[in-house]
Structure 1
Amino acid sequence: MISRIYDNKYFGFIPLLLFLIVSYFTSYRLENSDGWGALFLSLSLSIFIYIFLLLIRRSAGRYFAAVSFFCCLLVYLRLCFFDIATSDYTMFLKPWTEQLREAGGLAGLDKNIGNYNVPYLVFLALFSYTEFSELYLIKLLSVFFDLVLAFSLMKTVSVFTQSTLKKSLCLVLTLLLPTVFINSSIWGQCDSIYVSLAVLSLWLMLSDRPILSLAALALSFAFKLQAVFIMPVYLLFMFTGRLKWYQLPVFPAVYVLAVSPAIIPGRGFWDTLLIYFNTAGTVGSALNYNSPSMYSLYRFYWLDEGASAAAAKAGVVAAFILCLIVFLVFFIRRRHINKRSLFFAALLFAVAIPLLLPHMHDRYFYLCDVLILAAAFLEPASSPLVLFSQFASLLGYHAYFFMRYLLPMRWGFAALLVLTITAAYMCASELFQKKRR
Structure 2
Amino acid sequence: MKKELAIDRFLKNIINKYMYEICLCLLLLAAVVIRIKFAPETTLSPDYNDYYKVWVDYYRENGIIKGLGNAIGDYYVPLNVMYALCSLLPVEPWLPLSIVAFICELVSAVFIFKIFYLLTGRKHHSMFAGIATLFLPFVAFNGSLWKQVDALYTCFLMISLYKLLKQEYRASFIWYGVAFAVKLQSIIFLPIYLILYITEGFHSYDRVLKDSGKRNTFSILEFLWIPAVYFIAGLPEVLCQNGLKRTYLSYLYQTRELDTEGYGMVSYFPNLYNLGFDNFDKLLSGAAIMLLFVVLVIIAFFCYRRKDNIDRKLVVYLTIFTAWTCVVLLPGMHERYDYAMLLLLTPFAVLLRKKIVWPMFIANACSLATYAYALFGAKDIVNMTVVSLFYVGAYLYTLIDVVKLLNDENHQVS
> Match for residue 268 of structure 2?
290
Does 1:367 find its partner at 2:324? no
Contact 1:97/1:127, CA 8 A, preserved across alignment: yes
> Match for residue 90 of structure 2?
131
Does 1:390 find its partner at 2:390? no
Give the drift of 1:170.
0.6
> Match for residue 321 of structure 1?
294
Give the drift of 1:235.
1.0
CA distance in 1, matches of 2:57, 2:28: 33
Q: What TM-score, normalized by structure 2, do the two folds share?
A: 0.86
Helix, strand or coil for the counterpart of 2:234? helix
Does 1:155 find its partner at 2:114? yes
1:87-113 C-alpha deviation (Å, 9 max, x unpaired): 300001011111222231245212131
> Match for residue 72 of structure 1?
29
Contact 2:105/2:151, CA 8 A, preserved across alignment: yes
Q: Partner letter of residue 75 of structure 2? A: Y
Q: Where does structure 2 lack aligned partners over 5 or more consecutive residues?
A: 1-8, 202-216
Give the drift of 1:137.
1.1
Tell which deviates more after alignment, 175-184 or 283-292: 283-292
Give the drift of 1:168.
2.4
CA distance in 1, matches of 2:411, 2:362: 29
Q: Partner letter of residue 288 of structure 1? A: V
Give the drift of 1:299.
5.8
CA distance in 1, matches of 2:186, 2:291: 19
Task: State how many pairs are aligned.
Answer: 380
After superposition, the CA RMSD in angstroms is 2.1
Higher relative contact order (CA 8 A, sep 6+): 2
Contact 1:205/1:213, CA 8 A, preserved across alignment: yes
Contact 2:272/2:392, CA 8 A, preserved across alignment: no
> Match for residue 240 of structure 2?
265
Q: Partner letter of residue 77 of structure 1? A: I
Give the drift of 1:179.
0.6
Helix, strand or coil for the counterpart of 2:47? helix
Q: Partner letter of residue 170 of structure 1? A: A
Helix, strand or coil for the counterpart of 1:213? helix
Tell which deviates more after alignment, 172-181 or 233-242: 233-242
Q: What TM-score, normalized by structure 1, do the two folds share?
A: 0.81
Q: Partner letter of residue 394 of structure 1? A: L
1:33-86 C-alpha deviation (Å, 9 max, x unpaired): xxxxxxxxxxxxxxxxxxxxxxxxxxxxx7222111101111121111111112
Helix, strand or coil for the counterpart of 1:300? coil
Q: Partner letter of residue 224 of structure 2? A: P
Does 1:331 find its partner at 2:304? yes
CA distance in 1, matches of 2:20, 2:401: 30
1:102-139 C-alpha deviation (Å, 9 max, x unpaired): 23124521213101111111111011112211111111
Q: Where does structure 1 lack aligned partners over 5 or more consecutive residues?
A: 12-61, 302-306
Does 1:356 find its partner at 2:313? no
Tell which deviates more after alignment, 194-203 or 420-429: 420-429
Helix, strand or coil for the counterpart of 1:249? helix
Q: Which residue of the other structure, out of 232, 247, 253, is the alignment partner of 1:278? A: 253
> Match for residue 304 of structure 1?
none
